A and B are shown apart, each in its own frame.
Chain A
Amino acid sequence: MAKNNTADKITSDLLRSIRLNWSFKIWFAFLGAALLVCLGAYGLQLKNGMVVTGLGDYVSWGMYISNFVFFVATSLIGMLISAVLGLSGQKWAAPLTRIAEIIALAFAAVAGLVIVMDMGRPERLLNVFIHGRIQSPILWDVTVITIYMVISALFLYIPLIPDLKICSEKLDVPPFVKNIYKILSLNWAGTSEQKKLIEQSTRVIAIFIIPVALAIHTVTSWLFANTSRVGWDSTIFGPYFVTGAFVSGTAAVIIAMYFFRKNYKLEDYITEKHFDMIGKLLVLVSLVYLYFNLNEYMVAGYKMKEFEAILIRDLFSGNHAVLFWSVQLFGLVLPIILLLFKKMRKPLPMLVIGIMVLIGAWFKRFIIVVPTMEHPYLPIQNVPMNWKIYTPTLIETLVTIAPMIMVLLIITVLAKLVPIVPISETLEQLETTEENKK
């Protein structure tokens, strides 16, 4: 009897978030309005050409591409939390899997749009499919991001099937919505055969998504490493990008955890222990990333080869020094040190650290993309002054913000459609603990 009560409570607790209240409507309207403004800026870019940006013939990749790398990076977290932790038997991460998958799906879906926003001729996008050359890393990127998106969507959907059944039964929504939930729940009856099938397919995805996720960011790193440009021409760019991705993704999950927990009153399900554990995870991935940073800059800075030296001086003590050192200190070193203390691994300090790491992660991409473009092999001469040092414009900034808003919108909407913490898994865990007690 008591068990049923707890189960009912859990179900109603976790379903509580699925309803349209005022705060949601205001938040949604705010995002929508902001998105419209940003899309207006993009309209200007379409009309007048990319001259509205701060880009030039030398720094021809700037904020948009940094943004793209950031988006791809952050989307990798789905793989880390759901697949790697899941497969290695880290049970504590189970309630976070759906958050991670939603983040992965949202960032991956929007990453494609970011790259379209960087194109001079977006209306010719179809040329990539008509005239695609498989020798180009861009084609690999398009292919592998699409694959990752489809797989992430399935990774979100398949474990969701039992919850969709619960939604169709328990939610107080109009009949047609109930029907949609019902159709999507694929006649779920909770039979052992069905459970087995779900378990099998989830395992297949969890295994398959690992190489795919590694591929999306490795391929993205090859957009740079496959050129002979100073600062990009590096053999460790693949793992360097992948480990960096785990840092920014973990930070994104921490931020999302905090807000979902607070807004949806999920304190019983996303506990302080979860924050503690994911805080430790962030320290781990940050340390690995720090190690790759050391490799990347130490080797170049030691030799000071002619053109690399120009770039290194620019980063360490030149134009980009403030940004470079801020990113390394506030985005990496300081969070590692702070998170070593248990007190810091509580929800609120973690939120602050998460935001710090995420901002640092964004600027880290900027630091990888822009300074290299400012320092080509041959001198920059006979061109306007503002082509030598890149300064983004307001329109460009707005267009850069647009995909961020889209990600928030997608996360917001998905979180309103499905329970953010898996219900059936929580119930199952409850059963196992009950049985253990007996």
Chain B
Amino acid sequence: MYTRNFRILILAVVSVFLMQSFAQNNWNVPADKKAKNSYIKFDAASARQGEAIYNKNCASCHGNPGKGNSLKSLKPIPPDLSSKGTQALTDGELSYILITGRMIMPSFKNVLSEEDRWKVISYIRSFNKNYVQLLSKFDPNKAKLVKVSMSYDPKTKQVKVDVKANEKSGVVSLKNTEIALFVSRYFGKLQIEKNQITNTDGQAVFNFPKDLPGDKTGTVELVVKLNDENYGEIESATKLKIAVPTEKPGLTDDRAIWNVLAKAPFWIIILYSAGVLAFIAVLLYLVMTLNKIRKSGAKK
């Protein structure tokens, strides 16, 4: 009895372990991404900030690290992130997984900034006593040197993005950098086309859709995002009058049964008022007649 239970237990542990490592080894992270390191130092403070982000975005499926309370109804079961399998991954691999997502794991590309992602990884690492951080020498302040300019060509309906950095040594074009163009919407950023790679002049061209609504004047806010090896995460916004001018009336402008009293349909106002007025007329007639009866009797 004892041994049988024990065997089942071992089998279960092994299979869970196998499943986890199977799931994790399949991420196929490119070598350069795998070698990426955090420029944020992993300490108690960053782990604490990371925990808050983790609880909001990750805990509903992965559970709390070390508690084994990840959501078992999912297939594959989301791994406990304090587990050996997870901790065996490099910081770069973890970051990559967060960016891309896969199968039932959603992408956190638009949800978490690079800084946030490192903080979450800092929190995950806090469950591994043997972990030693390899700190990136990257200086996040360098991003301030970068200047992004955008222009629109109405003939070709294209947005040209130009990315330069004002180094002490002179102006440098950011070439071969992956850049993304977005249009700001009320709740988030809508990406225009796919990511592009800048040419040797630090320029990239995006086809702008003809049917995208802007505000009353057709103005939209364009946002360029890029993550350069040397300059880090850069985001820059410009307003251009290039979209379709859009001014839709409010949904409550027309007269309708469901609208407020002042916006009731005429037919209902007429019917209702006619009914009430007819009643008042009859009532007045009756009161007058009763009065006549009284007066006529008083004469006698």
Contact = CB atoms under 8 A, between A and B. Distances in A.
B291 to A, nearest CB: 8
Contacts of A154: 286
A186 interface: yes
A238 B257 CA distance: 20
A15 B285 CA distance: 31
Contacts of A134: 261, 264, 268-269, 272
Interface stretch (A169-177, A194-202, A428-436): A194-202
A150 interface: yes
Contacts of B289: 197, 200-201
Nearest to A140: B272
Contacts of B257: 135
B272 to A, nearest CB: 5
A92 interface: no
Interface in B242-264: 257-261, 264
Interface string B267-300: 0110010011011001101100110111111101
Interface in A203-250: 204-205, 208, 212, 215
B119 to A, nearest CB: 37
A186 B275 contact: no
B282 A151 contact: yes
A151 B286 CA distance: 10
A389 to B, nearest CB: 31
A191 B289 CA distance: 15
A144 interface: yes
A133 interface: yes
B261 A191 contact: no
A188 B293 contact: yes
B290 A201 contact: yes
A408 to B, nearest CB: 29
A204 B258 contact: no
A134 B275 CA distance: 12
A273 B272 CA distance: 43
B275 A144 contact: yes
B297 A158 contact: no
Given A201-B286, A204-B286, A133 B297 contact: no
A200 B290 CA distance: 11
Interface string B14-47: 0000000000000000000000000000000000
A319 interface: no
A193 interface: yes
A133 B286 contact: no
A402 interface: no
A407 B282 CA distance: 27
Nearest to A190: B297
A329 interface: no
A295 interface: no
A195 B296 CA distance: 11
Contacts of A215: 275
Interface residues of B, number: 28
A352 to B, nearest CB: 40
Nearest to B289: A201
Contacts of B268: 134-135
B264 A197 contact: no
A135 B293 contact: no
A132 to B, nearest CB: 7
A191 B297 contact: yes
B261 A208 contact: no
Q: Which of B258, B294, B297, B300 has the most CB of A within 10 A?
A: B297
A74 to B, nearest CB: 22
Contacts of A317: none
A197 B296 contact: yes
Contact of B294 (A186, A201, A204, A208): A186
B286 A198 contact: no
Contacts of A143: 272, 275-276
B261 A187 contact: no
A212 B297 CA distance: 31
Contacts of B265: 135
Contact of B296 (A133, A135, A191): A191
Contacts of A201: 285-286, 289-290
Nearest to A136: B257
A15 to B, nearest CB: 21
A161 interface: yes
Contact of A191 (B269, B275, B294, B300): B300
Contact of B260 (A133, A187, A193, A194): A133
B268 to A, nearest CB: 6
Nearest to B285: A204
A147 interface: yes
A119 interface: no
Interface in A285-338: none
Given A135-B257, A150-B283, A194 B297 contact: yes
B20 to A, nearest CB: 33
A277 interface: no
Nearest to B259: A135
Contacts of A135: 257-259, 261, 264-265, 268
A189 interface: yes
Given A187-B298, A198-B293, A212-B279, 12 more contacts: A134-B264, A135-B261, A135-B264, A151-B282, A187-B294, A188-B293, A191-B297, A197-B292, A197-B296, A201-B289, A205-B282, A208-B278
7 contacts: A134-B269, A135-B257, A135-B261, A161-B293, A189-B296, A194-B296, A215-B275
Of all A-B residue pairs in the complex, the 6 with the closest CB atoms, nearest first, are A187-B297, A186-B294, A201-B289, A134-B272, A189-B297, A147-B279
